Structure 1
Amino acid sequence: MRADRLVATLLFLQERGRVTVPEVAAELEVSQRTARRDLEALAASGIPVYSQRGRGGGWSLVGGARTNLTGLTAEEIRALFLITGPLSATPELRTALRKLVRALPSTLRPQAEAATRAGVVDATDWSRNAVTADAVHRSALQAAVVDGIRVRLGYAGPGKPAGERTVDPLGLVAKAGVDYLVAGTESGLRTFRLSRVTSVEPTGEPVVRPPDFDLGTAWRALSEAFQDGMYAVTARARVRPDTLGLLQRFLGGRVRVGGPLPDGWTEVWVAGPAAKALAGHLAGLGAGVEVLEPPEVRQWLARIGAELTDTYPGEDPPAPPGP
């Protein structure tokens, strides 16, 4: 923490040219005593920092000494700050960006500051809470990935009680507002949804990393296998015009639209991981969708309909609101 403060103090000096102890204390949210000690430490370490007493005095860098960040083009800087908008930035990231802005050459600094205000990245799905269980164990898993430490992971799969397994954390992936851990297991590479993690306990043992492991390549292979499972069953159906848009919003890329039918409906093909799951998705659209094949999806729809009729006998839906 002291080293971070010293770097931040130096960059603040670089930005302002001359600063006072109260200004440094307010900027770094420390006491004036701590701010003064940090300035004195910079001077004692050989950095050309000097103080001047009296009106208009303060602390300055001798000769306007600079410690600029180099190697980034204007386009690279703009891209970096555009993808880290205020809503997406964690407190740690905001601190890092503030230091980075100060380290930039003065000619590039206004563009970087403007880029941070130009957009917001919010990957959270509307159907999920803004604060989820993901955050509870994210920091521990991030540390395990960075430090290369194997962990005992408590995990509750869908519809299963929580169990514990030892895994090698290799990376974290965020997809559409959902965080996943990519880890090595006895059965090979696996993904674990962070919202289902119940505990993280470092073992102190080093991670066993596959040779030539690349997180992006591994994630693409794992997600392709998952996506193949999502398309295991395909149903051919006819959809009423007023339901087609809703079906596409519900199932997105799993819907392939064909041509119009003589009765005004539209032919579609809808994919799902299994007949039962696909029937469950389509049942919510009622009579707006009729599955033509395969028979097992139709059978599951009939069963769902019978179960709903038994559960809600003789109950009609409310009438639509009047004009």
Structure 2
Amino acid sequence: MRADRLVAALLFLQTRTRVTVAEVAAELEVSERTARRDLEALASAGIPVYAQRGRGGGWSLVGGARTDLTGLTSEEVRALFLLAGPAAASPELRTAVRKLIRALPAPLRSAAEAAAQANVHDGTDWAHTAVTADRSRLVVLQGAVVDGVQVRLGYAGPGKPESLRTVHPLGLASKAGADYLLADTERGLRTFRLSRVTSVEPTGEPVVRPAGFDLATAWRSLTARLEERMHAATVRALAEPASRAILERVLGGLLRITGTHADGRLEIEVDGPSVEVVAERLAGLGRRVEVVGPPEARTRLAALAEELAALYGRT
């Protein structure tokens, strides 16, 4: 924490011609005694910080010395603060953004403030209610990843009871509004959706990272496997042209329009983890979509029709 304060103190000095110990203490939310020790530590470390005694005195950077933060171009500042806009960020990130804005040279500050308010990030879609992870568990997992500490993880998969396992946290990822932990386990690399994590307990044991591990590469590999499972089976069908918009909205990247049938209907192919799952998704579109193959898809639809007729048939 002291290293963080020293950096914050240095950035604060950059924004002012001269500061008092009281002003530094208020900015860093510490006592004046701690603020004075931090300023003295900067000077001892070779930073050109000096104190001027007497009335109107204070602490300053010799010759207006500055850190490399001021080397940012206006385009880099705009890109940084568009990405880190505080509208949907954590309280810690909002605080960090404000501090960075104050640390920028005056000519760049107004553009940074405007960029930080220009975006809102919302990864959920209209059709689904967001299920967010418990923030306290997220904070513990973030700490475990950064500190390299194994955790005892409570986890309840879809339709499964809670189980406990010890994992090696390697990184966190976010996809379509959902947060995931990527961890090494007895069965190899796995992803855990944070909204399904029921408990997190650091064990104090160090994480063992796989040789040559790279988070971005590992994440792409794991998601590619999931994509393959999502495209394991294909169903062919004919669809009314007027249903194209709803098909694209419901099926997204699982839908391919391959041509136009002689009767004017669209020839389509739909992918999914199994023929049965795809057939069940298309069943809700009724007569607007006619499945033509494979045969097991039509068999599943016929069975569904019998079940629905038995349940909702005319009385």
Q: What TM-score, normalized by structure 2, do the two folds share? A: 0.85
Does the alignment pair 1:48 with 2:50?
yes
**Secondary structure at 1:269 match in 2:** strand
Alpha-carbon distance in structure 2 between the residues aligned to 1:62 and 1:210: 45
For residue 195 of structure 1, report the CA deviation from its aligned partner. Answer: 1.3
Where is the helix percentage greater, Structure 1 or Structure 2? 2
Tell me the residue number matched to 1:305.
305
Tell me the residue number matched to 1:69.
68
Alpha-carbon distance in structure 2 between the residues aligned to 1:148 and 1:166: 13
Alpha-carbon distance in structure 1 between the residues aligned to 2:287 and 2:212: 52
Q: 1:1-323 maps to which residues of 2 (within 5 A)?
A: 4-5=4-5, 7-18=7-18, 30=29, 34=30, 36-45=32-41, 46=43, 47-50=49-52, 53=55, 59=58, 61=60, 65-70=64-69, 72-129=72-129, 132-133=132-133, 135-314=135-314
**Secondary structure at 2:88 match in 1:** coil
Does the aligned pair in 1 maintain the 2:255–2:270 contact within 8 Å? yes
Q: Structure 1 vs Structure 2: percent identity of aligned residues?
A: 56
**Secondary structure at 2:68 match in 1:** coil
- Long gaps (5+) in structure 2: 44-48
Aligned CA-pair RMSD: 2.8
Does the aligned pair in 2 maintain the 1:69–1:105 contact within 8 Å? no
Alpha-carbon distance in structure 2 between the residues aligned to 1:41 and 1:165: 45
Tell me the alpha carbon deviations over residues 45-79 of structure 1, each in whole angstroms, 9 at most, x when there is no partner. 443244764xxx57452656333334544433322
What one-letter code is carried by the residue in structure 1 that aligns with 2:272? G
Alpha-carbon distance in structure 2 between the residues aligned to 1:282 and 1:158: 23
- Long gaps (5+) in structure 1: 316-323
Alpha-carbon distance in structure 1 between the residues aligned to 2:86 and 2:234: 42
Tell me the residue number matched to 1:321.
none
Alpha-carbon distance in structure 2 between the residues aligned to 1:134 and 1:39: 35
Alpha-carbon distance in structure 2 between the residues aligned to 1:219 and 1:239: 36
Tell me the alpha carbon deviations over residues 156-205 of structure 1, each in whole angstroms, 9 at most, x when there is no partner. 12211111122111111111111111111122111111111111111211
Alpha-carbon distance in structure 2 between the residues aligned to 1:194 and 1:161: 16
Q: What TM-score, normalized by structure 1, do the two folds share? A: 0.83
Alpha-carbon distance in structure 2 between the residues aligned to 1:127 and 1:59: 58
What one-letter code is carried by the residue in structure 2 that aligns with 1:313? G
**Secondary structure at 1:271 match in 2:** strand
Alpha-carbon distance in structure 1 between the residues aligned to 2:169 and 2:68: 32
For residue 98 of structure 1, report the CA deviation from its aligned partner. Answer: 2.3
Q: How many residues align?
A: 308
What one-letter code is carried by the residue in structure 2 that aligns with 1:246? I
